[in-house]
Amino acid sequence: MKLAQLLERLEYEIIQGSCETEIETLVYDSRKVKAGSVFVCISGAVSDGHVYIRQAAEKGAAAVVVEKEIEVPKGLTVIRVEDSRYALALMSAAYFGYPAEKLKIIGITGTKGKTTTTYMVRSILEGVGHKVGLIGTIEAIIGEKTIPASNTTPESYTIQDYFAQMAEAGCDSVVMEVSSQGLMLHRTAGIPFEIGIFTNLGEDHIGPNEHKDFEDYKRCKGLLFKQCRIGIANVDDPWYEDVFRGAVCTTETFGFSEEADLRAVCVEHVSRPGYLGVKYHVSGLMDFDVEIDIPGEFSVYNSLTAIAVCRHFDVPVQSIQRALKVAKVKGRIEMVPVSDAFTLMIDYAHNAMSLESLLHTLRDYQPERIVTVFGCGGNRSKTRRYEMGETAGRLSDFTIITSDNPRFEEPQAIIDDIIVGMKKTDGDYIAICDRKEAIKYAIANGHEGDVIILAGKGHETYQEIKGVKYDMDERVLIQEVLKELRENGLETCMLK
């Protein structure tokens, strides 16, 4: 493959060498450079690829792509672009033969609801014979293969690699989570989205390592609707018009509002022993009843989003109803059978907006108490900690503050920040730094009729401490706790 083929959709300047240079591999990590590679120099938050140009040349790189003026070895083809991340995205698409053009790509952006909605869409479409790839927070699914995720939206090269594998595996469509970070860093640049979805917007992901302010967060969310054919938006969200300002797609809406093109009406909570769900009627562009085995208003929004998408695939109503009834997502209001007396669930709620939504939802089912177990991640905005502490204090009957992913911070320091927010309320709480011990305390002290939420970890099966990810799956911790409590003769909670 000639370098010119990889650059065909880019504006660029030849600083040195020739575009007729033969290229064997495309890389953006200098450690993966080998003879014949073109090395794209990314200016990252931690390291700058431009620093490694000489090292890449010594390994046999045939060409480098840069965005800065920099001294380079002679004999190396040098291409200069305005933005090397953007260049990587378009070059990756070319390198893999533009696989997205062989697929219908559905992109979902928003502060919450992305993960659950992707699985709902996939469940519905696969139920009527489509073969659907998935890229998201939990994993990528390619045919029968699953790949654990490290980012909600992977680097552009990885996305295009996945698309190529999906096309090879016979997929006809892909549903993917599109994060604001992914949009900001051009990971999704050049992807011809068939449908883009906006779920909602809250003040999250704002900080030194993420978005500089809320305006930037909104702007980045809106980028999706400048590269999709159809945009589907939650009309009830107060920031909907801001996000869609400048959109170039055909727009449809969903929600509870009379203004929505696809509306949810006659919503009812469904509660039975060991079961929390919701049912409603779909009106507007479609007309039928739905029941979902996941509680709450946000479940209505998620399922309504999935319906709005699948309408464009001409999915029969009965297939939508059947698929939504069985759609489940690991770590999203995941019920764990523990006791005949109370309900225990795991959920990924890891910011104030998602926690508030979850707690309001559970309050509607009139539990005896809501007990919330949560912590906050290290090396992230302190504002999130204050807000989550205040939210838990206002809306829980009892809170157990513990550790999440402390990363390079001291767990107790994070807990102290959460307590600052907690003390703005009258909420009762206890701090137990060890997460397993916090879970044990919650289960051992559960009352009949309680709903206990383990919030923040969700699908994650690790705890990140000082750069190392240690195995820690809350489902495993729960089973260990139950065994220990039984061994200690605890029977008052009728443990299963």
Say how far apart CA 138 and CA 117 lie, in whole Å: 13
Strand partners, 108: 177, 197
Query: In this predicted structure, what is the pLDDT of residue 491?
Result: 55
Domain assignment present for residue 94? The answer is no
With bands split at pLDDT 50, 70 and 90, how would you rate the model's confidence at 428? very high
Say how far apart CA 91 and CA 73 lie, in whole Å: 23
Backbone torsions φ then ψ of 257, nearest 5 degrees: -65, 150
Domain assignment present for residue 420? The answer is yes
Query: In this predicted structure, what is the pLDDT of residue 122?
Result: 95
Q: For residues 42-60, b (16+ Cβ closer than 10 Å) or e, as one string?
A: beeeeeebbebbeebbebe
SS3 of 109, please?
strand
What do you get for the CA distance between the two ends of the chain, in Å? 61
Q: Which of 160-164, 228-232, 272-276, 360-364 is predicted with the least confidence, judged by mean pLDDT?
A: 272-276
SS3 of 232, please?
strand
Average pLDDT of the chain?
A: 93
The more confident residue out of 272 and 249 is 249
| Strand-strand pairing, 275-284 and 288-292 | antiparallel
How far CA 133 is from CA of 100, 157, 170, in Å, comes to: 11, 16, 9
User: Does the pLDDT of residue 494 top 70, yes or no?
Assistant: no
Type and span of the H or E element at 56: helix 53-58
Number of Cβ atoms within 10 Å of the Cβ of 474: 24
User: Does the pLDDT of residue 205 top 60, yes or no?
Assistant: no
Q: For residues 362-379, b (16+ Cβ closer than 10 Å) or e, as one string?
A: beebebebbbbbbbbbbe
Question: CB under 8 Å to 413, separation ≥6 — which residues?
Answer: none
Sort 338 into a burial class: Cβ within 10 Å, 0-12 / 13-18 / 19+: buried
User: Does the pLDDT of residue 260 top 60, yes or no?
Assistant: yes
Domain assignment present for residue 164? The answer is yes
Query: In this predicted structure, what is the pLDDT of residue 321?
Result: 95
Say how far apart CA 100 and CA 159 lie, in whole Å: 9
Q: Which of 303, 326, 349 is the last residue of a domain?
A: 326
Domain assignment present for residue 182? The answer is yes
| pTM for this entry | 0.83
Tokens of 445: 């002290």
The reply to whether 345 and 478 lie within a common domain is yes
With bands split at pLDDT 50, 70 and 90, how would you rate the model's confidence at 492? very low
How far CA 357 is from CA of 261, 301, 361, 363, 476, in Å, comes to: 24, 12, 6, 10, 27
User: Does the pLDDT of residue 301 top 70, yes or no?
Assistant: yes
The reply to whether 73 and 111 lie within a common domain is no
Query: What are the tens digits of pLDDT across the range 125-178?
Result: 999 999 999 999 999 999 999 999 988 899 999 999 999 999 999 999 999 999
The reply to whether 25 and 113 lie within a common domain is no
Q: How far is CA 410 from the centre of its chain?
A: 26
Q: In 3D, which of 230, 165, 191 has the Cα closest to residue 101?
A: 191
Domain assignment present for residue 495? The answer is no
The reply to whether 299 and 405 lie within a common domain is no
Say how far apart CA 463 and CA 239 lie, in whole Å: 34
Percent residues over pLDDT 70 in the chain:
96
Residue 54 gets which letter from DSSP?
Answer: H
Q: CATH code at 19? A: 3.40.1390.10
Tokens of 115: 């993960």
Say how far apart CA 206 and CA 220 lie, in whole Å: 12
Domain assignment present for residue 347? The answer is yes
Q: Are 388 and 355 within 8 A, CB to CB? A: yes
Query: What are the tens digits of pLDDT across the range 368-391?
Result: 999 999 999 999 999 999 999 999
Query: What are the tens digits of pLDDT across the range 236-245?
Result: 999 999 999 9
Number of domains in the chain: 3
The reply to whether 188 and 271 lie within a common domain is yes
Say how far apart CA 89 and CA 106 lie, in whole Å: 18
Domain of 48 in residue numbering reads as 3-88
With bands split at pLDDT 50, 70 and 90, how would you rate the model's confidence at 475? very high
Query: In this predicted structure, what is the pLDDT of residue 237?
Result: 95
Q: Are 401 and 429 within 8 A, CB to CB? A: yes
The reply to whether 363 and 456 lie within a common domain is yes
Domain assignment present for residue 494? The answer is no
The reply to whether 55 and 117 lie within a common domain is no
Count of alpha carbons within 13 Å of 99, Cβ hemisphere only? 24
User: Does the pLDDT of residue 208 top 60, yes or no?
Assistant: no
Query: In this predicted structure, what is the pLDDT of residue 65?
Result: 97
Q: In 3D, which of 357, 343, 336 has the Cα closest to residue 473?
A: 336
Mean pLDDT of 295-313: 94
* Sequence letter at residue 444: A
Q: CATH code at 429? A: 3.90.190.20
The reply to whether 318 and 343 lie within a common domain is no
Question: CB under 8 Å to 124, separation ≥6 — which residues?
Answer: 306, 307, 310, 315, 319, 320, 323, 324, 327
With bands split at pLDDT 50, 70 and 90, how would you rate the model's confidence at 209? low
Query: What are the tens digits of pLDDT across the range 38-92?
Result: 999 999 878 899 999 999 999 999 999 999 998 888 889 999 999 999 999 999 9
Region at 410 (left for phi over 0; alpha for psi -120 to 50; beta for the rest): beta
Backbone torsions φ then ψ of 347, nearest 5 degrees: -145, 150
Domain assignment present for residue 496? The answer is no
Q: CATH code at 212? A: 3.40.1190.10
Query: In this predicted structure, what is the pLDDT of residue 211?
Result: 53
Q: What is the largest CA-CA distance in the chain?
A: 77
* Sequence letter at residue 481: V
The reply to whether 319 and 341 lie within a common domain is no
The reply to whether 170 and 318 lie within a common domain is yes
